[in-house]
Amino acid sequence: MRNDTEPRKNWFDAGGSAYAQFRPEYPAGLSTFLAGVSPARELAVDVGCGNGQLTRQLAPYFDSVLGLDSSEDQIANAQAEDKVRYLCAPAERLPLADNTASLITAAQAAHWFDLPTFYAEARRIAVENAVIALISYGILRLEPDDLQERFIDFYRNEIGHYWPPERKLVDTGYAGISFPFDERAAPEMEIYRAWELGDFLGYLSTWSAVRYVNDAGREDILTAFVRDISELWGDPTKKRPVSWPINMRLGTI
């Protein structure tokens, strides 16, 4: 039986357009901080840029910003911005000349890279004392507690084994990866949003684990979660606080 508050669309049928619509924007303070530690402002390169959420935010601070992603779908859905250019290219083969980039970022993307090859490319394109930042945001926090408890059960137990192994790197804030640079401290930051139920479910539709659940023919897991979370949420238009801690490995090349 369908609960009357359950959304009637298929929230878990997502592509690059869903990323552009539902992935949370980074706080303005992140790009301000990154520009402040960059040794120069000629060129910033955002690798694994997706639809350009961080890429666009860097634009006011640099003469030029280049967003790179291996997915044509993501690049097709990237939003235009003055001084920003997008190219489809892998992290392991960056289409830039040597010694050109002052800032190299990878936001919610480095866990998909062949890191030794990416690091070699980063060193090649970096100017002297360029800054590299691997940025991720952790498990979201919902309020109140009953929503969070149901979400955590879904995340860890119901779809947990559908996550690719790389997801563990995100959950730990990249703490366990090799980072062969002169590491620097980064400030504590978080992403904060006030979302309706549809925003929250749209965000979940962008998860790789959710796509794998669909591919495995286990839509029942998703249907049950939508039913339960809808009942707990109540009015689907009610905005509820959602937050993510930002983690960063920051270094000088």
CATH number of the structural domain 16-252: 3.40.50.150
| pLDDT, tens only, 183-199 | 999 999 999 999 999 99
Look at residue 122 and tell me whether its pLDDT is greater than 80. Answer: yes
pLDDT at residue 5 in the model = 38
- Is 75's pLDDT higher than 80? yes
Provide the CA 238 distance to its chain's centre, in angstroms: 25
What's the whole-model pTM score?
Answer: 0.85
Percentage of the chain with pLDDT > 90? Answer: 81
Cα–Cα distances in angstroms (integers) from residue 136 to residues 82, 191, 206, 248, in the given order: 25, 11, 15, 6
Strands (E), 32-140: 43-47, 64-69, 84-88, 101-107, 126-137
User: Which pLDDT score is estimated for 12?
Assistant: 44
Compute the average pLDDT of residues 143-162: 96
Q: At 18, is the pLDDT very low, low, confident or very high (cuts 50, 70, 90)?
A: low
CA-based nearest residue to 67, from 99, 92, 94, 42: 94
